Chains A and B, each alone.
Chain A
Amino acid sequence: MSASVSAPARRNVELLEEVWEERRGLLGWITTVDHKRIGLMYFFTSLAFFAAGGVEALLIRTQLIGPEHRLLTPEAFNEMFTMHGITMIFLVVIPMTTGAFGNYLIPLMIGARDMAFPRMNAVSYWIFLGSGVFLYIALATGQAPNAGWFDYVPLASKQFSPGLNIDFYGYGLIFNGIASTATAINIIVTIFKLRAPGMSLARMPLFCFAFLAAAFSLVFALPSLTLACMLLELDRQLGFHFYDVAFGGDPLLWQNLFWIFGHPEVYIIILPAFGIATSIIPTFVHRRMVLFPVVALAELLVAFLGFGVWAHHMFAVGLATLVTVYFAAASLVIVIPSAIQIFAWISTILTGTPDFKTPLLWIVGFIVFFIVGGLSGITVAAIPFDQQVNASYYIVAHFHFVIFGGAVFPILGGMYYWFPKVTGRMYHERIGQLSFWLSFIGTWVTFFPMHIVGIDGMPRRVYTYAASTGWTVLNLLESIGAYVLAAGLVLVIANLAVSLFRGERVGGDPWGGDTLEWATSSPPPPYNYAVVPTVSSPYPMWDERDRERDAVRLAAGQGVLARGHETPVSSVQDGRLEEVVAMPPHSMWPALVGLLLFAGFIMLLLSHFVIAAALGGAVAATLIAWHAYEPEHRPAAASARDLPSGIWGMSLLLCSEVMLFAGLIATYFYLDFRAAHWPPPGLPLPATLDPSILTGVLVATSVPMALAARHARRGALRRTTTLLALAAIVQAGYFAFQFHQLLDELHTVNPQGSSYASSYITLLATHHAHVLLGVLLDLGMLFWIGRSRLTGYRVSGVRTLALYWHVVNVLAVAVLLTELYPSL
């Protein structure tokens, strides 16, 4: 705020302070839905896991410092490198980027007052925390996952890993995936719907493009991991046969499902880092990004192409040559959008007047490391070379340059860059630079020799090596590098921690940044902006007239929106103001959902399935109760034609569910392709008539659901209720009948008997679970509209529910065609 604030402006600010006042103390943090507080909780939690993952890395490096060391037992070593991988990927980089940076900064950058779904945002955090605690309980009780972060079967099967170690992995990652999916959906809808008036897609910061691309990748990639882990636990706990060759399963099914997730994952990790780089560079180089639209497009393209390259992790498994050549070609294509971005950054630095302060140094380090990692990545797209160095230390070098140099360096740069925004204080510049140089040299010394030792034949994941291999000197060097790197990282944290109390105080915009977060005070107030900013270019902070106009509007009370936790909602493409939505204030429900889910996953782990189901029911009841609060919608424009946020959110959730079913159906046909007889001899062909009629009945409920949505929009409460109830009765009847059929069928089509029966039963059961969830949502909706009038919130709810059913019905047809396929 400028010093000369007029009296009316001050009154408006006071009003906002009152409306947005936060609860104090621990309870305030537990019940908060404020994106900045949630962002900070994400930050500190993932920082704690970063420390844990770092200690694991140091133990690994200390074990390997010389030949035949016996610091760690083989079992401890295996747990260390597995936990290091899982921790750094699932508990550090993803939550740190999407959870901490995305949460804190995206609403500020687009001029919003919170994320699109503030309570879901809090749920994401509690689930993430729960999944992290879940995985570390495994370590604390001496049964941490120990089959590597990609957990190949059959090593991870019950036969070869009978302990709970792998079950912690399977359930931990499913649990963690819920949090990441929810955060991703939240980020996408926030970016789509909550941008300040005037911020069309073309004027959106590149940071948001990068996070948008990463979030889309998460929504579409995670279901594959969830499915892989789900099938793994079915194999392990219930004796199904997805991965077991003896009964028609295939270990390569795991590898395919895992890497369909695992490769997009690399871009999920790296894209937010691109976003951070494209935020820091213009600020310190004092010029706009070269080729802004091309860079935005390249970011989206990287995310998209990342889905077509997974089998390049499998060049040594004996795939047909043609298949490997396709995947190598696709992998080479990704180089192009990455190269565009690298040269856009370099030429922006080259043509601007760079001020090499700490944040920019980290970005320059990132560019250098990302080039090394990119080049070594290109070399492994040369199939014969990959068939030499695959699963050797060369690969360890490659992905640490990409992930540590490429993703963690920008994160650290970002910590320095936004530190004054978050704390209102400046870090110590000299020590900041020293911490950079220590980390930069440490990273080189740790990871560069790994290329050579890999070429020299050292496989990854060996807990020791013989002196006669000649790998001793390089390993010693790597370990020394790791200690130097650790010193650099400790210095980063020490610098920031001391500066938090002793740093020089700064104003809203210490750097002369280009994006909107610098327009508000440091740290930002709970409502972010006293007046909703308007935007007329991609560099809103460099448009001084707009910001001056904001001050005038504040005094005039235009766009203050202080009737509740209000934020404007605008159209997806051109950022036209459409309505003003009141956001929910603090809530106890998210933490409760997290706690119940945590208990539920513990019960699943221990094979107490009935208790787990009861806890699942408790989660459903909590979710229904949570919708007691109805935020207010008021249209700001006469013609709000865009879909409301809720529909966007549900659409994205359904995208993720469609991917899950696509994976299941693909699994069914993959196993069919591997089998000589499908179904195996002795099993009946599926009946065609009954399931077809039943599915027809279920699909027909789309008609009353669609009509209910239409009547709801017109405000016809009675008709809406009648139609919903009609649909719900049919759907519930369908579920009861089909579930009974399924229980019958378990006797003939025994899922413990063959891969056919496993995939058949799992496909049907997953479908039924979605029908059951829909029936519960029906009941919840009937309960709430029965108790109150049809508010805008409920209308949006009915439309969302109708959409859910339409998609479930389409999936029902797909499931039907798949299960009937042997009979067709």
Chain B
Amino acid sequence: MSEGGRPGPRRRLLVRGVCAAGLLAIASGLSGCGGRQSILAPRSQQTHVISVLWWWMLGAASVVFFGAVGLLALGYLRRRSSGLPVLGEREGVVNAIVIAFGIVIPLIVLVTLFGASDIYAIRFSAAPKSGSTRMTVQVIGRQWWWEVRYPATGAVTANELHIPAGTRVQLVATTADVIHSLWVPRLARKIDMIPGRENRILLETPDVGTYLGQCSEFCGLQHAHMRLTVIAEPPGAFNSWLAAATRPSPATGGAAAGEGRALFMARGCGGCHQLRGSEARGTIGPDLTHLGSRSTLAAVSIPNTPAELAAWIRDPQAIKPGNHMPDLGLSGGESQKVAAFLEALK
């Protein structure tokens, strides 16, 4: 630097840069938290422990970061004098500082972190011991939706995972095709679904509510539209939902629904989809036995309304390009009839 003592343009630029970075960090921090899939809005013990861990790590990391940037800033301010402030030029002192900041302090911090996270906190997100839960659900990842099974009953559904609030649930995660990863950030750690393996996590929340999850391992074309909702209900409501979900597909009334049913069977929908208790027994696509009772379609891509469902049936590739449902060549009217039929399956 050739300028005199006054802060040169370079220095002003530096100050501005640091301010901009700081403001940016704060602004984006404020806008980010509390989202519907935020790990910092925990609704279970394990995610609560992890969020506390995060805040402590963020605190420690901020101290290190601003300390180091402070030292660099000091280096800038003292750019014309060599040696350390106060301590002078002795090589031994400088070396000792590097050893202290580079070895001793990190060692203490890292051992603490290791104990707190990898020995203590890890217990909360560990797979539940067998027999320690009252209930088991099975989630099977498929390109690009989630099959949900309740092994004790015959209930099968898709993209909506109902659990009783306040109950420990063992979730068994497997896949029917490629690797997926089940991630419901507010309720549990993520777990990969890997061919040939059965992975387990604990799903438990005291709070009734609807929680969003999303596939978190890249699984092909529609990875982005592979989402699910976890619905935690009071145990009574859950039990009646499960009882209804276990029953076979209901009979439907109305002319449109009747025609829709006939179209459904005639156009081969049953080759991929199952309506329990009917001749439609396909296992490739989602079970539609009680489709009318779900709130969203296509793995939480669109709301479950007759209009959206009809649009989907008419041209499934428009909404989720590349998904495995073929275009069945149904006219607009036919699609609406099939949709009316399916919406009646409560």
Contact = CB atoms under 8 A, between A and B. Distances in A.
Contacts, number: 289
Contact of B61 (A336, A375, A471): A375
Contacts of B194: 251-252, 317-318
A356 B224 contact: no
A697 interface: no
A346 interface: yes
A515 to B, nearest CB: 21
A346 B218 CA distance: 39
B17 A325 contact: no
Contacts of B328: none
7 contacts: A154-B179, A251-B179, A354-B79, A385-B57, A433-B13, A453-B32, A462-B214
Given A160-B177, A384-B122, A452-B29, 14 more contacts: A155-B220, A160-B143, A252-B194, A316-B191, A318-B127, A325-B118, A335-B110, A385-B117, A387-B50, A387-B191, A455-B32, A463-B223, A464-B224, A474-B28
Contacts of A351: 82-84, 89, 94
Which 9 A-B residue pairs are closest in the complex by CB-CB distance? A457-B37, A382-B117, A452-B32, A340-B102, A245-B196, A462-B224, A387-B189, A318-B199, A375-B61
Interface stretch (B65-73, B156-164, B233-241, B242-250): B65-73
A445 B64 contact: no
A341 B98 CA distance: 9
Interface stretch (A389-397, A549-557, A643-651): A389-397
B49 interface: yes
A349 B75 contact: yes
Contacts of B57: 378-379, 382, 385
Taking chain A's interface residues, is the majority helix, strand, or loop, or is none over half, making it mixed? helix
A292 to B, nearest CB: 10
Given A456-B35, A457-B35, A390 B190 contact: yes
B268 interface: no
Interface in A127-177: 147-148, 152, 154-155, 160
Contact of B118 (A291, A356, A383): A383
A339 B106 contact: yes
B206 to A, nearest CB: 19
Interface string B314-336: 00000001100000000000000
Interface in A62-113: 73-75, 78
A460 interface: yes
A463 B221 CA distance: 9
B103 interface: yes
B183 A353 contact: no
A459 B36 contact: no
A352 interface: yes
Contacts of B89: 351
Interface stretch (A8-16, A436-444, A500-508, A704-712): A436-444
Interface core residue of B65, B91, B178 (most chain A CB under 10 Å): B178
Contacts of B216: 316, 390-392, 459
B20 A371 contact: no
B82 to A, nearest CB: 5
Interface of A: 73-75, 78, 147-148, 152, 154-155, 160, 245, 250-252, 286-287, 290-291, 294, 316-318, 321, 324-325, 328-329, 332, 335-336, 339-344, 346-347, 349-356, 364, 367-368, 371-372, 375-376, 378-379, 381-385, 387-392, 433, 437, 440-441, 444-445, 448-449, 452-453, 455-465, 468-471, 473-474, 477
Interface in B19-61: 20-21, 24-25, 28-29, 31-33, 35-40, 46-47, 49-50, 53-54, 57, 61
Interface string B104-130: 001100100110111101101111000
Given A378-B61, A389-B39, A346 B75 contact: yes
Given A317-B192, A346-B72, A385-B57, A477 B181 contact: no
Contacts of A383: 117-118, 122
A392 B29 CA distance: 17
B93 to A, nearest CB: 9
A101 to B, nearest CB: 24
A148 to B, nearest CB: 5
Contact of B72 (A349, A355, A465): A349
Interface string B125-167: 1110000000000000001000000000000000000000000
Contact of A441 (B20, B29, B119, B199): B20
Contacts of A336: 102-103, 106-107, 110
A339 B199 CA distance: 36
B114 to A, nearest CB: 6
Contact of B178 (A155, A444, A468, A473): A155
Given A385-B117, A441-B21, A154 B177 contact: yes
A356 B11 CA distance: 10
B197 interface: yes
A339 B68 CA distance: 11
Contacts of B177: 154, 160
A701 to B, nearest CB: 43
B118 A160 contact: no
A343 B39 contact: no
A354 B196 contact: no
B199 A384 contact: no
Contact of A457 (B185, B218, B222): B185
Contact of A328 (B72, B84, B114): B114
B50 A384 contact: yes
B83 to A, nearest CB: 6
B272 interface: no
Given A154-B195, A287-B82, A455 B28 contact: no
A474 B94 CA distance: 41
A364 B35 CA distance: 35
B308 interface: no
A160 B175 CA distance: 14
A401 to B, nearest CB: 11
B32 A456 contact: yes
Contacts of B113: 332, 378, 381-382
B107 to A, nearest CB: 7
A245 B195 contact: yes
A342 B72 contact: no
B78 interface: yes
A456 B32 CA distance: 6
Contacts of B82: 286-287, 351-353
Contact of B223 (A378, A445, A462): A462
A388 B1 contact: no
Contact of A371 (B33, B46, B64, B185): B64
B130 to A, nearest CB: 15
A291 B96 CA distance: 10
A325 B122 CA distance: 9
Contact of A382 (B21, B29, B118, B212): B118
A437 B65 contact: no
A184 to B, nearest CB: 28
A391 B181 CA distance: 9
Given A372-B65, A457-B38, A448 B25 contact: yes
